[in-house]
A and B are shown apart, each in its own frame.
Chain A
Amino acid sequence: MQYLPNILFVIALAAGVGFFVFNIKKLIRNIKLGRDEDRTDNKAQRFKNMAKIALGQYKMVVRPVSGIIHVLVYLGFIIINLEVLEIIIDGIFGTHRIFSFLGGFYDFLIAVFEIFALLVLVGVIIFWIRRNILHIKRFLNREMKGWPKLDANLILYFEVVLMLLFLTMNAADLTLQTKGAEHYASAEGIVGAFPVSQFIAPFFENLSIPTLIVIERAAWWIHILGILVFLNYLYYSKHLHILLAFPNTYFARLKPQGQFDNLEAVTNEVKLMMDPEADPYAMPEEGAEDEVPAKFGASEATDLSWAQLLNAYTCTECGRCTSECPANQTGKKLSPRRIMMATRDRIEDIGKNIDANKGTFKEDGKQLLDDYISREELWACTTCNACVEACPVGINPLSIIMDMRQYLVMEQSAAPTDLNNAMTNIENNAAPWPFNQMDRANWISEN
């Protein structure tokens, strides 16, 4: 019986990590539903970007208030996770503060964890105030109603509770050590330094040792179980960015923002058209008859590349893109953040459909275009790249808009009339306006 807590802990840990791995595999499968795209060139630059943008949070601090608080919460998250390692070892072996043999350095570590816990607590409360009390426009767009708002707040509540539990656990532990309780007290005196929880400890002073042990154990257990629950919450939440920001910045586009990819399928067609030697009646190559003709552009999430789908899963709905989008800021329906959220919702629905139908997708009468993203949104974009520039984790909403426009124009001939006129002009007289090409040099002789 004495090993019951250890056994329960190992089971909880295995279940928590196991279910997380299960979902991550699903996530990777969903991302791979996207079309292939090579993003493996220039590895040095890619590592540099990841180090600078994801690890170094370089683009977060462009907006100093949210940026600096985010850096604190991020650092707190990473640093306090070192303590989770000790908690796991203690949990498995039933030890008490296994790393305390580090002596003075251990005191230093615990002190740093505590200070960061406090900073995270303060940061998260400010974040909550920004989201719920201050009327910050980017948190109030139409796509932020319902689940996205609740999701954002749940994450903050999780973090508050985890930090409070961590500090409560330490305060009870400190009191138990001071009172010389068995299993807690050490021959070397007090292990760990508690610059924050020492102010909670006085509230525990008059409690009996058994009560304190209950408090300490309860805080310890709920804290570690909370972490495991939070870990598994990630897949269902925008909070996935804490993991995906790293691969996403690594695989982000490296070309100048103005350079839009040239569609290879089109290049082949154009070459064939321009080639005087090409035989339009040539027999298709062996086996080519069965090939599905290439689709131009994207009408479905699976027409997008895996990198675009990774973008969608990485989006944490901060709305920096939308708050700099000229279309959105002038009241148009388009919101680059919503483009990413809709893409993620669609690929998730496709994934669930595949799971429900034993590994194959069953037609559900829906697609990304129209059912998730409207044409009005797509046509409102000025391709100015402000959204791409604003994203702190290298997401490119513009590329999805462009792929979907390509589908509308090349597969459906469904451009707005004015644009069709401009394109007809380009085709017929080499300018978007109806001027004769032979008049192109008239300006030279005009006064």
Chain B
Amino acid sequence: MAEAIKVPTMAEYMAQGKSPEVLFWVGCAGSFDDRAKKITKAFVKLLAKAGVDFAVLGTEESCTGDPAKRAGNEFLFQMQAVTNIEVLNAYDVKKIVTACPHCFNTIANEYPGLGGNYEVLHHTQFLKTLIKEERLTVEGGKFKGKRITFHDPCYLARANRIYEAPRELLEKLEVELVEMKRCKTKGFCCGAGGAQMFKEPEPGTKDVNIARTEEALETKSEVIAAACPFCNTMMTDGVKNKEKEDAVAVMDIAEMIASAEDL
């Protein structure tokens, strides 16, 4: 991929005295987690295909502080936030797109109070706009007519009332969307939020991701569509736990579109 698509950094842009249309905030999962990196690459392919003039912060990017804040470490959160805001403001960033709902929520809602004001979009919203502006065309392709369910990330659907954009993208893929019993603002968490991703769960009768995966499997879908790298990990683990990984795939919507377009 690397040879085909150039991913410029903000530093490179600045050296040329230019600024990109949008900053792609990759996030920690998208940068380091092997599964999430595939989402990052798929999204980059789509950005390139649509001819979007974008850049990343590269090694200048740093955790938004979301897990620290939800764990209760407000101090660490604000240190991260203030550092990131300094970098973003130094590059005079106006518009940010990210494939992580946690980064999205933090930058959009919690950074303004600390001096970071940007237009922040989740990648599903951005892709929707690209299609609407006819910069990107999406046709059903290999997902056409397939039974697919969508797992709403809490920090997108409930926390920020964004649940139509991902569904509109699935519509473009001409899938047969089957909703789970609990969806949109009433969606059931995957179990990763609130920094749970980074700790063992408290004692209980079941893991949250297993409960949610069971609900997703009830829809008899071939693909569980996700829009968050952490949900993706949790649902993938759940599917493996149920030994359904051969029959059911967990895919980010960006990956689905990239794969439908044979990118």
Are A332 and B110 in contact (CB-based, < 8 A)? no
A326 within 8 A of B: yes
Q: Tell me how far the C-beta of A379 lies from the nearest C-beta in chain B, rounded to whole angstroms.
A: 6
Q: Which of A200-238 contact B (CB under 8 A)?
A: none
Contacts of A260 in B (CB 8 A): 69-70, 110
A430 within 8 A of B: yes
Are A330 and B67 in contact (CB-based, < 8 A)? no
Are B201 and A380 in contact (CB-based, < 8 A)? yes
Which of A180-188, A302-310, A406-414 contacts its partner? A406-414
B67 touches which of A262, A324, A327, A426 (Cβ 8 Å): A426
Q: Tell me how far the C-beta of A185 lies from the nearest C-beta in chain B, rounded to whole angstroms.
A: 58
Alpha-carbon separation in the docked complex, A361 to B238 (Å): 50
A330 touches which of B62, B68, B82, B206 (Cβ 8 Å): B206
A122 within 8 A of B: no
- Which B-chain residue is minimally distant from A417 (CB atoms)? B199
A432 within 8 A of B: yes
Q: Tell me how far the C-beta of A19 lies from the nearest C-beta in chain B, rounded to whole angstroms.
A: 42
Are B74 and A410 in contact (CB-based, < 8 A)? yes
A1 within 8 A of B: no
Contacts of B155 in A (CB 8 A): 258
Q: Tell me how far the C-beta of A374 lies from the nearest C-beta in chain B, rounded to whole angstroms.
A: 10
The verdict on A329 contacting B211 (CB below 8 Å), with A258-B159, A382-B193, A444-B2 known, is yes
Are A418 and B199 in contact (CB-based, < 8 A)? yes
- Which B-chain residue is minimally distant from A331 (CB atoms)? B205
Are A440 and B198 in contact (CB-based, < 8 A)? no
- Which B-chain residue is minimally distant from A264 (CB atoms)? B113
Are B61 and A440 in contact (CB-based, < 8 A)? yes
Alpha-carbon separation in the docked complex, A376 to B201 (Å): 10
Number of interface residues of A (CB under 8 A): 69
B195 touches which of A267, A385, A406, A422 (Cβ 8 Å): A422
Are B158 and A432 in contact (CB-based, < 8 A)? no
Contacts of B89 in A (CB 8 A): none
Q: Tell me how far the C-beta of A431 lies from the nearest C-beta in chain B, rounded to whole angstroms.
A: 4
B28 within 8 A of A: yes
Alpha-carbon separation in the docked complex, A331 to B73 (Å): 26
B249 within 8 A of A: no
Interface string of A307-344 (1 = CB under 8 A from B): 00000000000000000101101111110000000000
Alpha-carbon separation in the docked complex, A444 to B73 (Å): 31
B15 within 8 A of A: no
Contacts of B233 in A (CB 8 A): none
- Which B-chain residue is minimally distant from A401 (CB atoms)? B194
- Which B-chain residue is minimally distant from A325 (CB atoms)? B189
Q: Tell me how far the C-beta of B233 lies from the nearest C-beta in chain A, rounded to whole angstroms.
A: 12
Interface string of B101-120 (1 = CB under 8 A from A): 00001000110011000000
Are B192 and A259 in contact (CB-based, < 8 A)? no
Are A385 and B154 in contact (CB-based, < 8 A)? yes
- Which A-chain residue is minimally distant from B158 (CB atoms)? A385
The verdict on A383 contacting B32 (CB below 8 Å), with A258-B109, A419-B199, A443-B41 known, is no
Alpha-carbon separation in the docked complex, A432 to B64 (Å): 10
Q: Tell me how far the C-beta of B8 lies from the nearest C-beta in chain A, rounded to whole angstroms.
A: 10
Alpha-carbon separation in the docked complex, A423 to B30 (Å): 18
Q: A residues bordering B, Cβ < 8 Å?
A: 255-260, 262-263, 266-267, 269-271, 273-274, 296-297, 324, 326-327, 329-334, 376, 379-386, 389, 402, 404-410, 415-416, 418-419, 421-423, 426-427, 430-433, 435, 437-447
Other 8 A-B pairs with CB < 8 A, given A297-B74, A326-B211, A419-B71: A266-B75, A382-B208, A384-B193, A423-B67, A426-B80, A432-B63, A447-B1, A447-B2
Q: B residues bordering A, Cβ < 8 Å?
A: 1-2, 7, 9, 26, 28, 30-33, 37, 40-41, 56, 58-59, 61-63, 65, 67-76, 78-80, 82, 105, 109-110, 113-114, 154-155, 158-161, 182, 185-186, 188-189, 191-208, 210-212
Can you sample 13 A-B contacts with CB below 8 Å?
Answer: A258-B158, A260-B69, A383-B154, A383-B193, A389-B185, A404-B72, A410-B74, A426-B76, A432-B63, A443-B30, A444-B56, A444-B58, A446-B37
